[in-house]
Structure 1
Amino acid sequence: MSPKTPAQPGRRSFVRAVAGVELAALTLSLVTAAAAAPLTPSMQQAQALVAQMTLAEKASQLQHDSPAIPRLGIPAYNWWSEGLHGVARADVATVFPQAIALAATWDTPLVQRVGKVIGTEFRAKFLNTVGADGSSGLYRGLTVWSPNVNIFRDPRWGRGQETYGEDPYLTSRMGVAFIQGLQGPDPDRPRVSAAVKHFAVHSGPEANRHKEDVKVAPRDLVDTYLPAFHAAVNEGRAESVMCAYNAVDGVPACANQPLLQHYLRDEWKFQGHVVSDCGAVADIHLDSAHHYVKTPGEAVAVAVRAGTDVICDFGGNKTAQSATTVAAVQQGLLSEPELDRALQRLFDVRLRLGLLAAAGQRPFPEITARDFDTPAHRALNLETARRSLVLLKNDGVLPLKAAPRRIAVIGPNADSVDALVGNYNGTPSKPVTLLAGLKARFPGARIGFVEGTGWVAPPLEDLPAANLCVDAGCTLTGLNFERFANTRLEGAPSSAAIAPQAMFKWGWPNAHDRQESARWTGFLRAGESGEHLLRLKGNRGYRIWIDGELVVDLWDLAWPTSTRGVTLKAGQTYAVRVEALQTGWDGEQRLQWSRPGASDEAALAAARDADLVVFASGLTWELEGEEMTVLAPGFSGGDRTQIDLPAPQRRLLERLAALGRPLVLVNFSGSPMAFGAGIQQAAAIVQAWYPGGEGGQAVAELLAGDFSPSGRLPLTFYLSVDQLPPFNDYGMQGRTYRWFKGEAEFPFGHGLGYARFAYAQARLAHKRVPAGQGTQLSVLLKNEGPHEAAEVVQVYARRSDALAPERTLVAFKRVVLRAGESRRISFNLDAKALSVVQADGRRVVEAGPMTLWVGGGQPVVAATGHRAPGQMLKVQVSGRADLPPF
């Protein structure tokens, strides 16, 4: 085996720089290290089980899709399940707001409750499909590959929606709460196993993730990139960690001993298992990726020896084949005891989860196969959506003083289920779009809906049946339709007919998932020349061909997706093929296109006739996400090259604003949006994120004033990407509220409500604090509004040192006060709250003055002129103290 040298001669690796530990000193093997710890009963059973396996059987269990070993009573098990904000890709489930929206609640008890419900639904889904022998398949297991605690360091990252934002402290608190909810309080009897990801220093760009070698400064590693992982392991007691695709300081993350051995095992005392991101072990040797070693066998060996225990991979890679692992052991690349150590960890958690127990002996017998998508779970979902919404701007139009008689609802996200669910999601049984929510909340109003524009192109509209033909000569309109009793389009169709369009209702009328697929074939006749976009509205798994060219590929949402425009000529006929699979109950679907000559006049006419205009702007998971091909201006590889509201939406917003009607902008996105002139044009702006299955109802209630919004931004909304360093630069200078010195559109922590809160009588228990000690801060908070409302009280610390951050969040608390109520809110600030991380990665408390701010946001001004209320305090630190890094 010939891996590249982890650190060049004369250059200190990040481990030596941060912790004073030479890489050469990391010689303690995994087996020797584990021997020092007392064995739990489940680990003893795991060791005994592994000892009975042949080498071939052991190698098979290293893969994420682990086959059964009948002679030992071991059922087949697929380790891959996703639970970012609900049970994902397993049909109907409660779809909570996207992770970035959960962070916007700033409500850790709520996030823990959400995690508990998701863990319960995983148990229910497991019971729904578990085999008679205990076997469990893809997305139906109890090993949940969530949460994502990577830092959303740059707003261009398409997967930032999966995170808890840009701040290490907020991310830590949210991650710990979510993990504790998922797993439950008893490590000997976890509800599910949580895998915190992606370890480490991973946040785009998506196009380079398989070969990116991140050079990270010691300060940034300790101060920004690792704290949330440390909290997840040491406080949340996460059962699992997922290693990332990228390399760190020349070593692929899934083969990185400084990360997986020094930090995770030695320093943090992690006892659980490590799973690779899918295909990351293959990346270790592939020429197109890291090429750190030469062969698949070497890649498996270096990963397992570093501490990777499960290889998630794809059938086309040899690292996914058990024979590769067997050969690695036989060739001396990997010792059998090292392989045993990995499998012992895996069977330890399988035993504690009850995955090897008989049906009547599994833990959590109170959870049944019906305990998903329940009324109680949907009620919690609605509560969570309400708390996640952030009111960015309000010129007084909200809350609505009276129910408007005429409402014009305009925009590509007004009636979009995609705008509710984000990525890594399940299927909501009763999704409430913004349009549906407004109709339900304002039943007496006349509500008109005109899409007006697409996300990045002209508005999408139903493809007229007259433009679809069974034959090339267009003697018969319609499409050939075939329906299959499986999701693979295999075998003879269960039924066939000629349909007027690709319209279908999966599972109608009882919302039942029948696991079916369908194919439509025929010809499309263009009515005008120019670029067209196509989609199958209402369906989550489909693909479309034009003249044999695949133009939309959204078939397998577990992996890269793509959509592209196609140029058509007026009067010309093109062969069309549409294929779709049922992935839950998706309601009615239909084939749509965007026409180059489409006009926004209908939208403007609807707005002219309205008392209130609601414009639903933003993005969906089809535009931002994981390693995608999106051929549209401002997008690349799933990421964004610009953060502005897409041009078609911006142009329509300008025309709507010119009409002079009250205009409320409701933006759906998983990442920050630069609204530009829209900040002045809209009377109110609501950041709705991807708010989950009940999201439309929550937004409608906010507009009506049924509750006072309390969501706060978990990241900075910048004015432009021109304010940012290069995307692929992982240095934190100039990034996030902590290191950004410019003017933000809306700052981290910002959010308005319908009540006014006053801060007074801020006090410190000690104004002079010896280094290494903490203090208590308290403030008198009063709700001066006429209704009960929630405030998120935020505490920031700042040193005047030029090398220190602008300010750092050190505490927060969501507080609900009745109208007129006052309450003293207290925070215990520990020594770490008064510390800084130096350039060499050491955390210290230095003598000198520090400024503390307690308020409803940062002490900065938003682009709208709003400044959060609060009070400033001074504390004097005496002496000097070195603190642990985390």
Structure 2
Amino acid sequence: ACAKHYVVHSGPEKLRHEFNAIVSQKDLYETYLPAFESLVNTEVESVMCAYNRTNDEPCCASNYLLSEVLFGKWGFKGHVVSDCWALTDFYSDIGHGTVSNQIEAAALALENGVNLNCGITYTALVEAVKTSRVSEALIDEKLKPLIKTRFKLGMFDPKENNPYNAIPFEVVDSEENRTLAYEAAAKSIVLLKNNGLLPLKNNLNRYYVVGPNAASIDALLGNYYGVNPNMVTFLEGITSRVAINSQVQYSPGTTLDRKNINPVDWSSGEAASADVTIVAMGLTRHIEGEEGESISSPYFGDRLDYNIPENQLEYLRKIKGNHGKPVIVVLTGGCPMNLTEVHEIADAVLFTWYPGEEGGNALADILFGKLSPAGRLPITFPKSLEQLPPYEDYSMEGRTYRYMTKEPMYPFGYGLSYTSFAYSDLSLLSANIKKGQSTEVSCIVKNTGKYESREIVQLYVTDKQASVNVPLFSLKGIQSISLKPGEGKKVVFNITPDMLELINEQGDAILEEGDFTLTLSGSLPTERALELGAAKPLSTILSLK
């Protein structure tokens, strides 16, 4: 596996070849580095360095990030690969301007730890050796990890001795893999609103499936994907699950991101005669994604307009009308978006992300109650773009569930179910511990509704007496449990000293005495989550002496 993009890489997308991300040591070690360190600790094979600069150094030529942190402090044993053509940015007219030519770029990257170049810059290493800019010994040293990787892949073994050569082509899109794709799609779908409409019966007289993403394969795909002959769209999934005597009608109704050229509307009025209308809308890779992929994006793949395209909202308003028939909104996308009006208009809202080849079947099984939704938001959905700091500002102040003080539209960790859950019997094994000691916190989670479902139990820690600014909440544990109606289970989390550490302004992890709030909940434990229907959380105080 390859961990990327190292590090502090979030955009702006168009400027990434010249952008300089300025970040404090505290934010670097508290937010941007931990995921990479965790991957190194699990022996990830390679790390890809990013296009941008971080604190004035190109990520693919950063002595601090590569030599001192990755190889030095963490002891990384694998290889570093550049993002494709990132080394060209060292000397190109639209890049960082770090060096003047290809030879200097190749030497700079090699000296700072880049083993493999995705691009052509390393072809200049031949000339770099001839001019004594780099030594053959250095090239040999940087080549060794690449050879080790190739040995692991069996590339130097006889073909018959390499187990990878025995994998048949039939495993591609096999039944086993499609089952896994279905499971991933179903478990990731998040129910954002439900006024009691869902789950639907599958034998209603007439279902009306509409919207630009209803029959779209692009709505199933993000960036970087494979294709196969059976990409199940939402329309196909729904049609396959309804009773044989039910009718499904379809109309795209509107385009993805602009008004219809033809003003004649034969679509929205049909919703009045349907038992329920399902509107598939939102984003696709044409609007958001990598700069060259997003062909309909005026911002080269970034989302500087936080709203859903206005033509889609206008179509949703027409679909809802005043006929009183229920409307379900199914959203696709890979980022937060302004869903305030969608939430007000729709009777139910489901966020599917980009669900992949089995997305249509997974959605249909949730709509018709074969499965109860249990997905949770891994990001915060602000109410508006104004709630966020400037895009070029990499400080964590005001960002994410950990530091955002403004009330979001949907909080981190949030997601509804067809059933309800109750948390009770909170217990803390030891309320007072010393440095180096651990304890346990537990509770009973009970399914108090009518449907079998999973609950995603989340553990949050809040340092109440820190010497520096610390997160409002820090997610420190997750457990997924399946509960039948009326069933309860005890959930236990082990609280270890590292969960209570803070990151100071120098980027050091330290453990301070004081009180910590431990919270067990099914969402970020805020008033907004409760307003939206999340279960009431449980909290207790742990003291570290």
Report the TM-score when normalising by structure 2.
0.96
Residue 781 in structure 1 maps to residue 445 in structure 2: yes
The answer as to 2:254 corresponding to 1:453 is: yes
3-state SS of the aligned residue for 1:351? Answer: helix
CA contact (8 A) 1:857 1:869 kept: no
Note if contact 1:794-1:856 (Cα within 8 Å) is conserved in structure 2: yes
**Would you say the 8 A contact 2:91–2:97 is kept in 1?**
yes
Q: CA deviation at 1:294?
A: 1.3
Query: Structure 1 residue 293: deviation in Å?
Result: 1.2
**Shift of residue 365 of structure 1?**
5.7
2:514: which partner in 1?
848
* Aligned-pair CA distance for 1:756: 1.1
2:287 aligns to what SS in structure 1? coil
Matched, 1:342 2:142: yes
CA RMSD of aligned residues (A): 1.6
Q: 1:635 to 1:739 in 2, by over 3 A?
A: farther
Distance 1:349 1:391 in 2: 42
Percent of pairs with identical residues: 38
Pick one of 15, 28, 37 that aligns with 1:208. Answer: 15
- Trace 1:188-199 onto structure 2 (pairs within 5 A): 194-199=1-6
1:838 and 2:504 aligned:
yes
- SS across alignment from 1:309: coil
Residue in structure 1 matched with residue 129 of structure 2 by the alignment: 329
Contact 2:159 2:165 in 1 (8 A): no
SS, match of residue 370 in structure 1: helix
- 2:421 and 2:535 in contact (8 A); partners too: no
Structure 1 residue 683 displacement after superposition: 0.6
Post-superposition CA distance 1:738-762 (Å, at most 9, x none): 0100011110100011111111111
Instruction: Pick one of 375, 385, 396 that aligns with 2:196.
Output: 396
Contact 1:772–1:845 (CA<8 Å) still a contact in 2?
Answer: no
**Equivalent pairs, count:** 540
Which residue identity is paired with 1:797? V
Alignment correspondent of 1:640: 303
Greater Rg by CA: 1
| Kept after mapping to 1: 8 A contact 2:22/2:394 | yes
Moved more, 712-721 or 799-808: 799-808
CA distance in 2, matches of 1:428, 1:741: 44
1:438 to 226, 238, 241: 238
Cα distance, 1:832–1:698 mapped onto 2, change above 3 Å:
same
Aligned to 1:673: 337
Deviation, 1:767, is 0.5
State the distance in 2 between where 1:363 and 1:283 align.
39
Contact 2:202/2:241, CA 8 A, preserved across alignment:
no
Contact 1:434 1:699 in 2 (8 A): yes
Amino acid at match of 1:295: N
**Which residue of 716, 728, 739 corresponds with 2:392?**
728
Structure 1 residues 274 and 703 mapped into 2: Cα distance closer, same or farther (>3 Å)? Answer: same
The answer (yes or no) to whether the contact 2:287–2:295 under 8 Å persists in 1 is no
Question: Are 2:314 and 1:651 equivalent residues in the alignment?
Answer: yes
Instruction: Quote the Cα distance in structure 1 between the aligned partners of 2:246 and 2:359.
Output: 20
Q: How far is the alpha carbon of 1:311 from its aligned partner?
A: 0.6
CA distance in 2, matches of 1:635, 1:699: 30
Structure 2 match to 1:295: 101
For 2:191 and 2:328, the matched residues in 1 are separated by 11
* Structure 2 counterpart of 1:282: 88
SS of the residue corresponding to residue 771 of structure 1 reads coil
Q: Which one-letter code corresponds to 2:500 in the other structure?
A: L
Query: TM-score, with normalisation over the residues of structure 1?
Result: 0.60
Q: 1:285: Cα distance to partner? A: 1.8
Q: Is the 8 A contact 2:3 2:39 kept in 1?
A: yes
Q: Secondary structure at the residue paired with 1:275? A: strand
Cα shift readout 1:122-152 (whole Å, capped 9, x = no counterpart): xxxxxxxxxxxxxxxxxxxxxxxxxxxxxxx
Cα distance in 1 for partners of 2:165, 2:300 equals 44
Alignment CA distance shift 1:753-1:865 (3 Å):
closer
Q: 1:629: Cα distance to partner?
A: 7.8
- The one-letter code sitting in structure 1 at the alignment partner of 2:143 is L
Task: Quickly say closer, same or farther: Cα 1:376–1:631, change in 2 above 3 A.
Answer: closer
The aligned counterpart of 1:152 is none
**Native 8 Å contact 2:26 2:506 kept in 1:** yes
1:810 match: secondary structure: strand
Aligned to 2:263: 598
1:679 aligned counterpart, secondary structure: helix
Q: Could you tell me whether the CA contact under 8 Å between 1:860 and 1:868 is conserved in 2?
A: no
Maintained 8 Å contact 2:458/2:521: yes
Which residue identity lines up with residue 330 of structure 2 in the other structure? V
Please say if residues 411 and 451 of structure 1, whose CA atoms lie closer than 8 Å, have aligned partners that are also in contact. yes
Cα contact 1:239–1:273 (8 A) shared by 2 = yes
Q: CA–CA distance in 2 between the matches of 1:262 and 1:415?
A: 50
CA shift for structure 1 position 787: 3.1
CA distance in 1 between counterparts of 2:130 and 2:263 reads 65
For residue 805 of structure 1, the aligned residue among 471, 476, 483 is 471
Deviations 1:589-642 (A, max 9, x none): xxxxxxx2334x22212211101010101111111111138686x841110112
Q: Deviations over 1:185-235 (max 9, x none)?
A: xxxxxxxxx111011110111011001111110110000000000001112
Q: Does the Cα contact within 8 Å between 1:409 and 1:435 map onto a contact in 2? A: yes
Residue number in structure 2 paired with 1:858? 524
What does the per-residue CA deviation read over 1:560-593, in whole Å, with 9 as the maximum and x for residues that have no partner?
xxxxxxxxxxxxxxxxxxxxxxxxxxxxxxxxxx
- Superposition map of 1:319-718 within 5 A: 319=121, 322=123, 324-364=124-164, 366-401=166-201, 403-442=203-242, 443-459=244-260, 596-599=261-264, 601-628=265-292, 635-659=298-322, 660-718=324-382
Does structure 1 residue 876 correspond to structure 2 residue 540? Answer: no
Report the Cα distance in structure 1 between the residues aligned to 2:306 and 2:203, rounded to whole angstroms. Answer: 34
- Aligned amino acid, residue 303 of structure 2: R
Unaligned runs of 5+ in 2: none
Structure 1 moving runs of 4+ over 4 Å: 629-632
